Amino acid sequence: MDTANPGNTAQQILNAAERLVQMHGFNGFSYADIAQEVGITKASLHYHFSTKAELGRSLIARYQDNFCAALAAIDAEDADAADKLRDYVRLYAKVLRDKRMCLCGMLAAEFITLPQPMKAGVKKFFDANEHWLSQTLEQGRKAKQLHFAASATDVARTLIDSLEGAMLVARSYGSAARFLATADWLLAELGVGTAAKTRRA
């Protein structure tokens, strides 16, 4: 354990756990796996996170904070809703290209077996995404840039559900292009150009 900087050790533990969840699921790894990867004893691991449920709760909270920070950065940089939606899709695409899955998407697949605090955290993550997307969609509709008949909330839910599902299927084929094809179709239905079309590389 890094006794000089215990906070750094906690972050290393969370980094290792995040990667393991994104690749194998929450039930697909043990404390021994994390301890070996970080290079600490299981006793040291329990010092930072006494239970796996506590680790999972902290992991979801950090993931949501980072994801919401990414959404805030999109808001700060993009003036129009179309660019915001394209950048939103690219957040998912980057994770998939790194051969990982959305952390909360993986946890949703195991939802029935998760401790209650983790279940609440997963829902909170998707609620935050739904809220951001709903606002972005309404912005685009008011600007006559986006076109959809359903409520912004319903469209936001459809986007989240479709993108999460598309990630799972694309992973089965080892094809990020398959995910992007689905994302492009979803955006086109709203009147947005493809996810590849952007002002930035």
Tens-place pLDDT, residues 97-152: 999 999 999 999 999 999 999 999 999 999 999 999 999 999 999 999 999 999 99
Do residues 101 and 22 make contact, with C-beta atoms less than 8 angstroms apart?
A: yes
So what's the pLDDT on residue 194?
62
7: pLDDT confidence band, cut at 50, 70 and 90?
A: low
Distance CA 40, CA 65 (A): 26
Do residues 7 and 45 make contact, with C-beta atoms less than 8 angstroms apart?
A: no
So what's the pLDDT on residue 200?
39
78: pLDDT confidence band, cut at 50, 70 and 90?
A: confident
Instruction: Output the CA angle 10-105-127, nearest 5 degrees.
Output: 90
Backbone angles phi, psi at 142, to 5 degrees: -65, -30
pLDDT average, residue stretch 63-70 = 97
- The answer, yes or no, to whether residue 20 has pLDDT greater than 50, is yes
Secondary structure letter of residue 149 according to DSSP: S
pLDDT average, residue stretch 40-66 = 96
Backbone angles phi, psi at 39, to 5 degrees: 85, 40
Distance CA 139, CA 152 (A): 10
pLDDT average, residue stretch 177-197 = 86
Mean of per-residue pLDDT scores for the chain:
92
| Domains assigned to the chain | 1-50 (1.10.10.60), 62-189 (1.10.357.10)
Report the percent of the chain where pLDDT is more than 70: 92
